[in-house]
Amino acid sequence: MALSLFPGIDLLGQGFEAEGFCVVRGPDLIFGGNVRAFHPVPSRFDGVIGGSPCPDFSRARRSVPTGDGLAMLAEFRRVVIEARAAWWLLENVPGCPELRIEGYSYQRLDLDARDVGMKQRRLRHFQFGHRGGLLLALPRPNVRSREAEATCLASESNKPGRRDWSRFCELQGLPASFDLPGFTLSAKYRAVGNGVPFPMARFLAQAVAAPVAATTRLCACGCARPVAGKAVSAGAACRKRIERKGKA
């Protein structure tokens, strides 16, 4: 059973449900809830998932950081510890600081929606920790689709030439007929634009359902692709990333 924090309309949690997890949802501002007042019962949840609010860490930010981003990361950490979860998975933008939680392994993975066969350019960072030291292996393909559509953003509804609602939903991996009755149109765009694309969520849920031992050979670039035999990296792009890291 997994606890989904900051769920919003919870596309991340829906991906986990599609992979057989039972997902229980914590409070969310958009439904009048407050994570600060939330205390999970210890040892009931195997894992905690969630994408904490990220405007403070986003490159698209135009205003001064409010400090809310860091405060919500601290809430995520507090809930993981209070829940005594076996593992946790945090989704955020690439500018998100590292969240290390004592007693858990640590892995940071970048994943683009195109890595899971989608058309949308959407780079996100996932951070994962496991009390038993296990890791995620992500057997994603080595090639990304070259054609790419712009990222679906929460602010899309205010943009000139915005993509229509059904197209926007499809780009986030939802059916074109997807709807959120009772939401205004801009609230709909915000809720779906803030979400993890459904196929991306499923891909991660598959990895979380079968974490691998810390001794498993994974690509040295940090992409979490499994490598065979004596290989160090999973391909040419990974070798380049390793070189760049070495120079940094």
Q: Is residue 83 a contact residue for Zn ion (CB under 5 A)?
A: no
Residue whose CB is less far from Zn ion, 14 or 233: 233
Of 11, 221, 230, 236, which lies in the binding site for Zn ion, with binding defined by CB under 5 A? 221
Candidate segments 11-19, 30-38, 174-182, 231-239, binder of Zn ion by CB under 5 A = 231-239
Q: In the bound complex, what is the minimum distance in angstroms from residue 15's beta carbon to Zn ion? A: 23
Question: Residues 6 or more apart from 198 whose CB is under 8 A from it?
Answer: 11, 14, 15, 18, 172, 173, 174
Query: What is the number of other CB atoms lying within 10 angstroms of the CB of residue 105?
Result: 18
Sheet containing 47-50: give its strands across.
23-25, 2-5, 47-50, 87-92, 123-130, 107-112
- Are the beta carbons of 154 and 192 closer than 8 angstroms? no
H or E element that contains 80: helix 68-83
* 218 binding Zn ion? (CB under 5 A): no
Give yes or no for residue 223 binding Zn ion (CB under 5 A). Answer: yes
Query: At its nearest, how many Å lie between Zn ion and the CB of residue 128?
Result: 16
- Work out whether 238 is an interface residue with Zn ion (CB under 5 A): yes
| 55 CB neighbour count, 10 Å cutoff | 15
Q: Does 101 bind Zn ion (CB under 5 A)?
A: no
Measured from the CB atom, is 191 or 234 closer to Zn ion?
234
What are the φ and ψ backbone dihedral angles of 69, each rounded to 5 degrees?
-60, -45
Q: What CA–CA distances, in Å, run from 162 to 10, 35, 85? A: 23, 32, 40
Residue 233 C-alpha from the chain's centroid:
24
153 binds Zn ion (CB under 5 A): no
Q: Does 219 bind Zn ion (CB under 5 A)?
A: yes
Q: Is 224 in the site for Zn ion (CB under 5 A)?
A: no
Distance CA 151, CA 157 (A): 13
E strand or H helix at 4:
strand 2-5
Q: Does residue 234 touch Zn ion according to CB under 5 A?
A: yes
Of 49-57, 122-130, 154-162, 211-219: span binding Zn ion (CB under 5 A): 211-219
Q: Shortest gap between Cβ of 239 and Zn ion (angstroms)?
A: 8
Does position 135 interact with Zn ion (CB under 5 A)? The reply is: no
Window contacting Zn ion (CB under 5 A); options: 67-75, 96-104, 209-217, 227-235: 227-235
Binding residues (CB under 5 A) for Zn ion: these are 219, 221, 223, 234, 238
